[in-house]
Amino acid sequence: MTKDPAARPRKADAAVPVRAVRDLLAALAEAGRTVGPLLVRIDKHGRLNPPLTRAGRPIGDPDGRMTAEAVADSVTRIAAAAAL
């Protein structure tokens, strides 16, 4: 049985996630974040780790780490937008 070569991922396709993570690391370093969590909150204005408060008291992870639920919501939205 011969496999269809078009069905196999190309090397360039396999490198896309790696390139995306490298771009994210570069953007975080540009913003002065060289240590800490990889997935952080970003507000609609592009600010990293914006402070979260409730009734004037800080809430959430002080490092800006995204919760598992926030990551799941993001993946769901991106998958829906890509029609997956």
Integer angstrom CA distances of residue 31 from 27, 77, 78 = 6, 25, 24
3: in domain: no
6: in domain: no
36: in domain: yes
Range of the domain at 55: 11-81
Give the residue-averaged pLDDT of 22-27: 91
- Give pLDDT, residue 29: 92
Indicate the pTM of the whole model. Answer: 0.60
Whether pLDDT at 80 is above 80: yes
73: in domain: yes
59: in domain: yes
User: What pLDDT, in 10s, does the model give residues 55-67?
Assistant: 888 888 888 888 8
- Give pLDDT, residue 13: 62
26: in domain: yes
29: in domain: yes
* Total tally of structural domains belonging to the chain: 1
5: in domain: no
Q: How confident is the model at residue 11 (pLDDT cuts 50, 70, 90)?
A: low
The candidate with the shortest Cα–Cα distance to 36, out of 59, 66, 7, 60, is 66
